[in-house]
Structure 1
Amino acid sequence: MTYRVCFVCTGNICRSPMAEAVFHARVEDAGLGGLVAADSAGTDGWHEGEGADPRTVAVLAENGYALDHTARRFQQSWFARLDLVIALDAGHLRALRRLAPTERDAAKVRLLRSYDPAADTGDLDVSDPYYGGADGFEECLEMVEAASGGLLAAVREQVEGRAA
């Protein structure tokens, strides 16, 4: 049974597709491609049907990540098929937990940077780079990469627990 993770930001064109691409690469490198699936969505539908922000695509390509992406809005019904919903900031976390149909579904929602042992626990948001320059996208990628190892370890533990 595939373990499903969905990364969620606001419009699904910057942070969440970046996190999806990085995590997908980590999953493949770990040999878990057939066991773990990652995708992404936005809390709002402003960019539905659009590709990722060109600055996201550029910073990912510069760092060796592939991304084939079309923006979409997160749907409440998805909770039933997802194992983990990863919010990119506290606002997304609150919105997703409010949207969750059950307490069990609300418990599936976690902040990405909570998986980064070096992160400042007082601020676990991945800053939105949309209104800034290229440096904001690079900083976003650094935060995503720093948390992806811990997230992969947690997901691996869940996947191995299912197999046991």
Structure 2
Amino acid sequence: MRKVYFVCIGNTCRSPMAAELLNQKLKDSGLDDVRAESFGLSPFYPDSAEVKRLREMAVLQVTGRINGLKEHRPRGIEEIMFREGDRIALLDADSLGDLLSAIERNPSFRGKHVPIMILGIDDPFGGGSEDYLACCSELRRAIDVKFNLLIGEMRI
């Protein structure tokens, strides 16, 4: 199974919501050979109860359901086993340098082609429910528009 890894800074807001949204879209499309996961460049431990509530509320309002998001816990790149054919969707361009440095240090990336797509989604961390809802809506639009780019080459 190939994976799309959504990456943000703390792995508490954008990237887990994005993974949930893509996994819902994959399920709705009947695609079971691709899975979305997420990690953070500086994972925020422990996951805040308020952030958890806000991200779940946003996904529930945008999609009407939650699948795996309730089990999410922040994790970093050191927990990733990147495989040839996987790809990364970085949620903000400002973190590209940090991502490239982290990839260089992680042995699971060595010798592999690492496709990176930058989505440019604002971070709702520290904001309220309106910020999380706006972020989740923006993530859903980006995933809908870039769906074939996110998974296209994986479906060979």
Please identify, of 63-72 and 46-55, the stretch whose mean Cα deviation from structure 2 is larger. Answer: 46-55
Equivalent of 2:128, from 130, 133, 141? 133
CA RMSD of aligned residues (A): 2.4
For the 8 Å contact 2:6–2:15, the answer to whether it is kept is: yes
- Runs of at least 4 residues of structure 1 off by over 4 A? 48-52, 102-105
- Cα distance between partner residues in 1 of 2:130 and 2:146: 24
TM-score by length of 1: 0.76
The residue type equivalent to 1:9 in the other structure is C
Aligned to 2:6, what secondary structure does the other structure show? strand
Please identify, of 129-138 and 52-61, the stretch whose mean Cα deviation from structure 2 is larger. Answer: 52-61
The runs of 5 or more residues in structure 1 that have no matched partner are: 114-124
| Percent of aligned pairs sharing the same letter | 25
* Matching residue of 1:109: 116
Closer, same or farther in 2 for the Cα pair 1:157/1:45, shift >3 Å?
A: closer
- Cα distance between partner residues in 2 of 1:44 and 1:82: 24
- Using CA pairs below 8 Å that are at least 6 residues apart, which structure has the higher relative contact order? 2
TM-score by length of 2: 0.80
For the 8 Å contact 1:48–1:72, the answer to whether it is kept is: no
- Cα distance between partner residues in 2 of 1:65 and 1:126: 22
- Answer yes or no: is 1:36 the counterpart of 2:34: yes
Aligned to 2:4, what secondary structure does the other structure show? strand
For the 8 Å contact 2:77–2:102, the answer to whether it is kept is: no
Aligned length: 146
The runs of 5 or more residues in structure 2 that have no matched partner are: 105-109
